[in-house]
């Protein structure tokens, strides 16, 4: 079973205060590696790729060096295919350390600026977060309203959600 969070914790823990810089290096290197990753797993191939990454990075700072080693290890252990999930976990850990809360708002129509600002302020007030990053997605299937996701917390204030709740209640009454 793959444990993406364990890889992310190891990455952030090893880099400490430089984790954000390491993540930036990792993200910059992942794209080119993805194009050849299928042919580059295993110890020998990962070491060849490590050499190429070092040459192309052109820097020897700790964060980039660790990102190169991390990619090499992912390839060596044949888990590079999960790199996107690992990166999302790393981002979440860094955000948590910095008091940044990631919020996703799904809505049927674009949010107006006043509503978005009011929602942002209410979330900051209720959670005590230092800052939030708000990702808005258009989901026409919601018909109206919005769905708010904060980590594992979920609020469905959409018309579609209300209709589904009414349908469940009606079926239960029959």
Taking only the tens place, the pLDDT of each residue in 24-83 is 999 998 888 887 756 566 777 777 788 888 888 776 788 989 998 998 888 888 888 899
Rounded to an integer, the average pLDDT of 78-97 is 90
Integer-rounded Cα radius of gyration of the chain? 21
Angstrom CA distances, 159 to 48, 113, 171, stand at 54, 21, 18
Q: How many residues does the chain have?
A: 174
pTM confidence score: 0.69
CA 69 to centroid of chain Cα atoms = 21
90 and 129 share one domain: no
What burial class does residue 58 get, using C-beta atoms within 10 Å of its C-beta: 0-12 exposed, 13-18 middle, 19+ buried? exposed
Q: Are residues 18 and 87 in the same domain?
A: yes
Q: Are 91 and 9 members of one domain?
A: yes
Q: What tokens appear for 31 in the block?
A: 């794209």
DSSP H/E element including 101: strand 100-107
My answer on whether 169 and 131 are in the same domain is: yes
Last residue of a domain, one of 62, 95, 128: 95
Looking at residues 139-163, what average pLDDT do you find? 90
Whether 53 and 29 have beta carbons less than 8 Å apart is answered as: yes
Calpha distance 120→126 (Å, rounded): 10
For residue 129, give its domain range. Answer: 100-173
The count of structural domains within the chain is 2
Residue 134, domain CATH: 3.40.30
The percentage of the chain sitting over the pLDDT mark of 90, rounded to a whole number, equals 47
Contact 80, 45 (CB under 8 A): no
């Amino acid at each position: 079973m793959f444990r993406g969070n364990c890889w992310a914790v190891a990455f952030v823990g090893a880099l400490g205060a430089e984790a954000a810089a390491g993540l930036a290096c990792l993200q910059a290197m992942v794209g080119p590696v993805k194009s050849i990753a299928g042919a580059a797993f295993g110890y020998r191939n990962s070491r060849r790729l490590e050499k190429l990454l070092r040459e192309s990075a052109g820097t020897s700072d700790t964060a980039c060096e660790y990102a190169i080693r991390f990619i090499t290890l992912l390839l060596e252990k044949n888990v590079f295919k999960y790199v996107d999930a690992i990166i999302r976990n790393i981002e979440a850990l860094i955000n948590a350390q910095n008091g940044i809360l990631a919020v996703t708002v799904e809505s049927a129509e674009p949010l107006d600026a006043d509503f978005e600002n009011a929602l942002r302020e209410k979330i900051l007030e209720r959670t005590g977060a230092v800052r939030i990053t708000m990702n808005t997605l258009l989901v026409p299937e919601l018909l109206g309203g919005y769905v708010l996701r904060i980590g594992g917390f979920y609020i469905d204030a959409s018309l579609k959600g209300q209709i589904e709740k009414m349908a469940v209640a009606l079926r239960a009454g029959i």
